[in-house]
A and B are shown apart, each in its own frame.
Chain A
């Protein structure tokens, strides 16, 4: 069976510090991978998705970047965090075909102070 791991669960970072959130999927190969963010009072917003190693699509301009160094690893990064980067970050995967049921990780609660 497939599993998705996302860490850390919570993170408190000062403004201007770097960020690295990691997500890994087990039990499948060549998945599509996604990063979402839920800001306070808002819906889930798609930040990045990847259909393969090194292939990243960005959906919104922002202070964040994503990388996929291995088939089942997806990393969300920032060089300098802003207050507006605070939120709940979710990683997800699907099998890479339409219709695509997405499976979500447990999420990371990021507070930038």
Chain B
């Protein structure tokens, strides 16, 4: 089982603030890195999946970067809104693309 670390574990920001989270994972036998958003009482929803070192993805105010050589990914949220409140999960796959290991997540609370 991969050791996937996410930081911080929780975060409170004011509406309009920008924020970022970190995910670190073992870089060996890497297949892909997923970011999911999990809102309370809903199912996890995919944000991004990245496979190549240096990949950058963007979806609206949210973007992510990937460094497979050193084993980390950053997720950025620009101008946080209350609807961004959720737990953000990082999930690398290793040893097979089906073998996805989820981190414990970063719980974001955006205060209006």
Which of B14-22, B41-49, B67-75, B77-85 contacts its partner? Answer: B41-49
Count of residues in A whose CB is under 8 Å from the partner chain: 25
User: What class of interface size applies to chain B in its complex with A?
Assistant: 20 to 34
Asked if A90 contacts B34 (CB within 8 A), the reply is no
- Checking A34, A57, A99 against B49 with a beta-carbon cut-off of 8 angstroms, the contacting residue is A99
Asked if B43 contacts A43 (CB within 8 A), the reply is no
The 0/1 profile, CB within 8 Å of B marked 1, for residues 67-105 of chain A is 000000000000000000000001000000111111111
- Checking B43, B97, B100 against A46 with a beta-carbon cut-off of 8 angstroms, the contacting residue is B100
- Kindly count the residue-residue contacts between A and B in the assembled complex, taking CB atoms under 8 Å apart: 63
Asked if A43 contacts B103 (CB within 8 A), the reply is yes
- Checking A90, A98, A104, A105 against B97 with a beta-carbon cut-off of 8 angstroms, the contacting residue is A98
Q: In the complex, A32 Cα to B93 Cα: how many Å?
A: 15
Report B32 CB to chain A, min CB distance, Å.
Answer: 4
Asked if A98 contacts B51 (CB within 8 A), the reply is yes
Residues of A within 8 A of B45 (CB): 104
Residues of A within 8 A of B29 (CB): none
- Can you sample 19 A-B contacts with CB below 8 Å? A34-B98, A42-B104, A43-B105, A44-B44, A44-B89, A44-B102, A46-B101, A59-B1, A90-B43, A98-B31, A99-B34, A99-B49, A99-B50, A99-B51, A100-B32, A100-B98, A102-B100, A106-B43, A107-B43
